Structure 1
Amino acid sequence: MLLGAIEAGGTKFICAVADKNLQLLERISLPTTTPTETLAAVFAFFEPHQLDALAIGSFGPIDVNEVSPTYGSILATPKIAWQQFDLLGTLKRHFQIPIAFTTDVNAAAFGELKRGAARGKHSCVYLTVGTGIGGGVVMNDQLLHGFSHPEMGHILVKHHPDDAFAGVCPYHGDCLEGLAAGPAIAARFQQAATTLPPEHEAWDIEAFYLAQAAVNYTLTLSPEKIIFGGGVMKQSQLYPKMRHYFNELMNGYVNTPPLDQYLVYCELGDDAGITGALLLAKETLV
């Protein structure tokens, strides 16, 4: 059995082939250009392999509603060449094998549930905080989809008492992404997050917003674990601050697991998405 996986990002497509035990056989990173150019390179990578199943975790927004006439398409992405592109349909016509289709963050959530920070659990939330903020959810071992997929980076949050920043989200201004993504930190303090020292006030503000998000996800979904990934979350000083604010904001209303085991950094790192996609490919054959 050979499994294929694609982590389709706005800047690069990561493609991988693995055996039934998820032992990686080959992997490549391809630049995201136009659909024609990018998928030609994807097809060339997979051509030597007789795949039995494939899964793709894609940048979005995407249409994951199987009864929708645009199911499988990338929707209103800022990448103009990819707007309304039928990604799943194109892949199905080429490969003619079972293909799982979801968001990149849902794939990462599934990878962390099965092989990472939430292994042994049946539910988790995965939130990536970087250039943007996106979230994926697994409940009862199944990806969470409704008429669409979760857009967890665009929840509304209240401002930190010391933060008058208007936000950078072009749709909502001061939603979570508008206040807490990497570009928001850079715009607020006029320097990249990676250059700010651990004691900088930015991290207290950042932790306050992320704690609000975690409280909201806890109250609506009750996941067994909330896992954070992305470049911003590599700052270890965020976690004690975030747990402090979470505890303060929750105010004893809901009992959660110990916060040092509940609000955690991802274990799979940059491999969460491709691992989850390989696992989802395998599930199409069960």
Structure 2
Amino acid sequence: MRIGAIEAGGTKFVCGIGDEEGRILDRISFPTERPEPTLGKVIDYFRDKGVEAIGIGTFGPINIDPASPMYGHVTTTPKPGWTGYDFLGTLKKEFDVPFGWDTDVNAAAYGEAKWGAAKGLDSCAYFTIGTGIGVGVYAEGKLVHGLVHPEGGHIPVKRHPDDTFEGFCPYHKDCLEGVAAGPAIERRWGVKGSELGADHPAWAMEAYYIGQAVATAVLMLSPKKIILGGGVMKQEHLLPMIREEAKRYLNGYVRDERVLAGMDEYVVAPGLGEIAGLYGALALGLAAAGRA
């Protein structure tokens, strides 16, 4: 089978072709612009590829309720031109194939469960920590949607005692995203995170906040694996610090050896690297083809 995959990120789109074995056969990427030129490039890429289905994992928030007249639309986003845009409908006009449609982080969680760090498990939580923070949840063999879809990047967190930065989230100021996403690091310290040394106090503060989020995921969702991806997590020294902070918050309450002594195997980097979202979109496309 030839399945199309689209990882629609806030800064770039990645499109690819894959098969049912989880092989990515071809891919391209380009910057995320306004909807019309961006989806024009998507349509041009797939036009001659002969795909049998297309999976889409996209930045959001989005409408994922098939019963809603706004299904397939982007809802509220600061990205110019995208609010209320009929993303899925635009592509359906061009391609008469089944479509899978979900958030980029749900797609990444799905890809990791199918082929990556959570392969063989029936649950995982995937955090992407970059320009924003998103959380995808795979539980009991299904992606979690619920009322809309998980928005774990906007949970409240306890403030670090030395943190005077007010937070940058336009809705909540100092939610998890507002104090721990990439722009928070840059605005708090005056430089991008990639320019800070491993011993800079920024990373202890990051671990303090992300560790809380990991502990919350353990307590609320009880996933069998937690995966931390995104640009901020390219700082390799950060992951061990987060594990320690999560253990400190949990304080021995969750009596499972994976949490008590096995954090190195429980809270991990993506098994599929930087293109977990593209693999997830491929998995969404395969599932759509199967339903059809």
- TM-score, normalised via structure 1 length: 0.96
Q: Which residue of 1 aligns with 2:275?
A: 271
Contact 2:60 2:75 in 1 (8 A): yes
What's the CA shift for 1:192? Answer: 1.2
Higher mean alpha-carbon deviation, 171-180 vs 263-272, is at 263-272
Which secondary structure does the structure 2 equivalent of 1:25 belong to?
A: strand
How far apart, CA to CA, are the structure 2 residues paired with 1:40 and 1:226?
36
Match of residue 283 from structure 1 = 287
Deviates further, 261-270 or 13-22: 13-22
Q: Which consecutive unaligned segments of at least 5 residues does structure 1 have?
A: none
Partner of 1:39: 39
Task: Report deviation, 1:91.
Answer: 1.5
Structure 1 match to 2:21: 21
Q: Which residue does the alignment assign to 1:76?
A: 76
Alpha-carbon distance, 1:245 to partner: 1.6
Instruction: Tell me if 1:51 matches 2:51.
Output: yes
Counterpart residue type for residue 84 of structure 2: Q
Distance (whole Å) between structure 2 residues aligned to residue 69 and residue 253 of structure 1: 44
Instruction: Determine helix, strand or coil for the equivalent of 1:284.
Output: helix
Q: CA deviation at 1:254?
A: 0.9
Contact 2:18 2:282 in 1 (8 A): yes
Partner deviation per Cα, 1:119-162 (whole Å, 9 max, x = no partner): 11111111011111111111122111012111111000001122
> What's the CA shift string for 1:87-141, capped at 9, x where partnerless?
1112222212110000111111111111111111111111011111111111122
Letter in 1 for 2:249: L
Identify the range of structure 1 (168-177 vs 237-246) with the bigger mean alpha-carbon deviation. Answer: 237-246
Q: How does 1:81-160 map to 2 (within 5 A)?
A: 81-160=81-160
Give the equivalent residue in structure 2 for 1:178: 178
CA distance in 2, matches of 1:189, 1:54: 41
Are 2:233 and 1:229 equivalent residues in the alignment? Answer: no
Count of residues paired in the alignment: 286
Shift of residue 6, structure 1, vs aligned partner: 0.8
Check 1:25–1:239 CA distance in 2 against 1; reply closer, same or farther (3 A cut). Answer: closer
Cα distance in 1, alignment partners of residues 284 and 59 from structure 2: 16
Q: Is the 8 A contact 2:166 2:173 kept in 1?
A: yes
Q: Is the 8 A contact 1:65 1:146 kept in 2?
A: no
Contact 1:129/1:181 (8 A) holds in 2: yes
Give the TM-score normalised by structure 2: 0.94
Residue pairs, 1:195-274, within 5 angstroms: 195-256=195-256, 257=258, 258-274=262-278
Which whole-Å CA distance do the structure 2 matches of 1:232 and 1:52 have between them?
A: 35
Report the CA distance between 1:31 and its aligned residue: 2.7
Output the CA distance in 2 between the equivalents of 1:158 and 1:248: 14
Determine the C-alpha separation between the residues in 1 that align with 2:236 and 2:23.
Answer: 30
- The 1-side partners of 2:280 and 2:228 are apart by 15
Q: CA deviation at 1:198?
A: 0.7
SS at 1:81 equivalent? coil
2: CA distance between counterparts of 1:274 and 1:100? 13
- Tell me the secondary structure at the aligned position of residue 119 of structure 2: coil
Alignment of 1:157-172 (within 5 A): 157-172=157-172
Which one-letter code corresponds to 1:263 in the other structure? V
Residues 192-216 of structure 1, C-alpha deviations (whole Å, 9 max, x = no match): 1111111111111110101100111
Residue identity matched to 1:213 = A
How far apart in 2 are the matches of 1:40 and 1:173?
A: 35
Provide closer, same or farther for how the CA distance between residues 20 and 243 of structure 1 changes in structure 2, counting only shifts above 3 A: closer
Report the alpha carbon displacement of residue 19 of structure 1 after superposing the two structures with TM: 2.7
Uncovered stretches (5+) of structure 2, i.e. residues with no partner: none
Taking the aligned partners of 1:194 and 1:22, their CA distance within structure 2 comes to 32
Q: Retained in 2: the 8 A contact 1:64–1:147?
A: no
**Alpha-carbon contact 2:137-2:143 (below 8 Å) kept:** yes
User: What amino acid sits opposite 1:176 in the alignment?
Assistant: L
Moved more, 227-236 or 13-22: 13-22
CA distance in 2: counterparts of 1:136 and 1:36, whole angstroms:
27
